[in-house]
Structure 1
Amino acid sequence: MNRTILWKAACALLTTAPALSHAQNQPSSTMSTTYSPPPMFNGLKDYKTWSVGVNGGLLAPVAATGGSNDFTKWKASGGYGAYVKYQLLHCFALRADYVGGKLRADNSKNLGNGMPPVSPYKSFETNLNWTASLNAVFNITTVNWLFRQNFVQLYASVGGGIAGYKPKLTRKDGTTFPYKEYDKSIQELIIPVGAGLKFRLSEYINLDLGYTMYYTDGDNLDGYPHGVNKDKFSYGYAGLEFAIGKKGKRQLQWHNPAKQLYREVQYQKAILASSLDSAQQINARLTAEVDKLTKDSDGDGVSDYFDKCPGTPPNTKVDGAGCPLPVPEKIEEKVVITEEDNRIVKEAIQNLEFDFAKATIKPSSYPALDRVADLLKRKHLNLKLSGHTDNVGNKERNLALSRERAEAVKAYLVSQGANPTKIEAVGYGMSQPIASNNTAAGRQRNRRVEFYIF
């Protein structure tokens, strides 16, 4: 299938989802080998991409969304416009627009409460000398998606630009004066947002019906800066669009990628269908050969074709020939704890000292602990650390301190390379004294961390 089909599919999803659904429900008769190949999409060079348009319509100082201006009754006035457009994709184009005309409104209409508006002005008239904007135009949907060339499309546009205009105000006494004393146009940023319908009359001419709202970046359009809302205006128009290009080329914007894609898919399906019978015969022969090579009656992972030891019991590990592998004899290593090991542990207990009322190990205890860590690594021994305190102080605090000291010893041994999973650290507080807490010597003996290796 041609690689350009993927490119066309992007626009197809945007312009029409029904086309794909329709393609899935076509009768099987379309898969005949006599299905004629459709013309392929070969890029923009085969289509007209440039066009110019002229239009005329009505301008109003209001917009369908966003409210009204600072006068109570707006009046429609004549407007005119033109544009140049370049079609980049079936569904997307860039368009440079120009619009001019007049905008008018007055205060002849009462407010919603029946009261006349409170305003020093009777009416305004603004000469919209020009608007220049660059817009992105999106072909939202096509109407006749059953055909390769459409004739009706719905589009939307959004962009940005500049408007130049001159407002004139009329006071209640009938005197008219310019909004600005100097005779220069006010220039403001505009954001045009629009939509429309387009009809293809021929390969060169389209009928364009549209409506565009212009949002200005200021409150000067009616010459009456009043309130926090910015002014806006709209343009409803009808016009003609003229496609530019060589005779015989079609307009890209009317090309229906969904229908083109559908026809190309059907053509490829027809080609595949013509060779289906022979492919099925080849597949049947290959399937028989594969079954012969892959059949494994005893389920040992080696096919019967290569299995030299058929009938192997389930879950038996076998070699490449299907014969059982020898089972290695498991040898358990017996760990013997020697007197030297006990001496190393005892020495670590005797030399273990902490800062007063803290779980901080004094550096003088490190050498003995280093020898314990080396012992644990060499012989893979297990170690239980039991922390104890005397009865001086709070019971809960003593329990926590005993646990923290046991954990501190474990942390140090682990930092020296001991396996943390083989070391258990617990705290018993003052619950297991080994001497009387009534004497200083007894309390000293009770403040301890015991080591048990196994």
Structure 2
Amino acid sequence: MNLTKTGFLAAAGILSVTQLVAQAPALNEVKPFAPETEYRTWSVGVHVGLLDQSNLIGIRRKFDQVKSNLGYGVYVKRQILPGFGIQAEYIGGKVAGAYKDNDNTFETKLPWSAALSANVTLANINWRYHEGIIKPYLNVGLGAMGFEPSANINGATNSYEQTTELFVPGGVGLKFAVANDIAIDLGYRLNLVQSTNFDGVRGGGSKDIFSYAHLGVEFALGDRSKPFLANSNPVSAMQKEYTAQYDELVAQKAAVEAQKAENEKLKSQLERLYADLADDDGDGVANRYDKCPDTPEKTKVDGAGCPLPEPKAPVVQQITVTDEDRRVVDEAIQNLEFDLGKATIRSTSHASLNKVAALLIEKNFSLKLAGHTDNTGSMQTNMRLSKERAEAVKAYLVSRGANPSRIEATGYGPTQPIASNNTAAGRQQNRRVEFTLY
């Protein structure tokens, strides 16, 4: 058999499984020391390699010329702990050897073998991932094999019937996790046969030994959504869980500090608002706008909080609205702006409204404020917004000293358009507050 060609094809077939990495499903996270029901614990493996009498520990046998032959095997493993498993294994093939100085040779066929071994993972080496990638291991066990030896000694061929003997397999290796449930298995095994006739030469001497260097692949069995127990790294899992808990505590602490800061901010705003709305003398005008803060209780006051003059007999007074008065009101209408969708007057409108307030105080005019909107939105919302905007203008004029009893604020919503609501320009004209002096 051409071992070079065979070995190349076997290696190519095994390495091709790495193409499955991209298809592997994402694994569920498993807490440290979770029960084994959270993992997959069964796996199967196949391997091919070289069988010969050479070994790496210097033990020499009767035939000192190495002849390598193809070997093969399969195993089933039950993982009990992340670092310990039990596997049942079969190895087949043939072992051969020769003398360097003469033509004496032997060849032993292995029709079957079965062994039960303990597999100990020495470390799950892992620098970046929660699960182990490189796993050095050793195994040792006990088994039985059937072998058929034959030897050519000094020109005479001796063949023997199949013999069954115990043997002790022991070895080391490396497994490389190339996917969630696939690992490449590179190993070296020494097999101590409890017989001196394994090489076809009967007689005294030490028991025979042969080696098996192999390359294989291991597949985890079961639900692919669960991780394989042999890949688990409990120390890494504990570190990951601790880090997650620590990060959560840090985030919670930051959230608490942020909430405290927000509470302080709200407290300060409420204190300022309370100060703005406080009315120590109970006259209905806030301290902030009260120009007569010590007004006796139940005294009628004007918009500035000052006592109103004693009522006199009504005097019919002719109110005359001049063109200049109308110009002041028109300017206020043109400059009046609110925040979008709100009743908050923008500061750019204050100057012209101040002039209207001064006019009302100086000439004791009465003023009707009519709020209007376009037809965008619900009728209820538009009626409320138009009323609130008219009231906002009234409140501002009162804050500047105007008499609240002489100002009427009404909201009409979209019921009295002055332009078409089908265009943006028309809707802009319909959103207005009208001032009427009388």
Please, what TM-score do these two structures have when normalized by structure 1? 0.46
Higher relative contact order (CA 8 A, sep 6+): 1
Larger Rg: 2
Please, what TM-score do these two structures have when normalized by structure 2? 0.48
